[in-house]
Amino acid sequence: MHGTFELTQLDARGLRDEDFRAAARRGRAEDLLRGLPPLGRFRARNLVFDMIPSFLFNRLMGGPAAKGPLIYESGSAALHAMVLLSTDSEPTYEESTWEYTQTLYTLPEEVGSGAKRFIEDVIETTLIQADQTGREHISCRSRWLFLPSEGVSSNIRSVGIYFCRDGDNTAGNLERGRVARIRIKDAAGRPVIINKTASQVLLIEYTFRLVTV
């Protein structure tokens, strides 16, 4: 069980939010992005925190309920949202953080109101595949685009995945918790800080794989 992030920072070349939205409606977002000059590419595997295995054991294999607050209820989602963070440290297995009164866009260490939900906020239909070799392996790929006006920050250091008691909700008064994270690094493994401006877009792809032993 692991996930892989790929981040691509691109020069928007003067294009506005609506230009990208219009391309997405026509199914041409990929064509538009392909013509933009890249400013940086980053790739890393995330660390999934300690409560996720018990959550999956409960939901997939009928095991006992996971410890709170990662308790399954109708509408809850372990893969709720992807969030841009200023967190500078390396992720640790027991890092899980939980908030009860925060909205999706005001979480601690979040920068630029930088959050996108799984399913609702992706730029193309989420791709879910089984391993073609017959091995018990499921892959789920999601892609998000931060438009020129979105996620603007000079302090993007990490990307986190969050759980929520209501997977579709963006408002407050809901339990939300970080369940996975990467510290963004360059190809040489050195920690970097992404400065995302209003003249750029940021494409993020996350692939989550669940593989049997």
Q: What is the pLDDT of residues 141-154, one digit of tens each?
A: 899 999 999 999 99
Model confidence at 213: pLDDT above 60: no
Q: Please give the Cα distance from 200 to 101 (Å, whole number).
A: 31
Confidence at 79, pLDDT banded by 50, 70, 90? confident
For residue 37, what pLDDT is reported?
A: 96
Residues 194 and 202: beta-carbon distance below 8 Å: yes
Enter the DSSP assignment of 62: -
At residue 98, the pLDDT reads: 78
Considering the entire predicted model, what is its pTM?
A: 0.88
pLDDT category, 134, cuts 50, 70, 90? Answer: low
Place of tokens 């669940």: 210
Q: For residue 77, what pLDDT is reported? A: 84
**71 band by pLDDT with thresholds 50, 70 and 90:** low
- Bigger pLDDT: 159 or 1? 159
Please state whether beta strands 194-196 and 153-156 pair in parallel, antiparallel, or not at all (unpaired): antiparallel
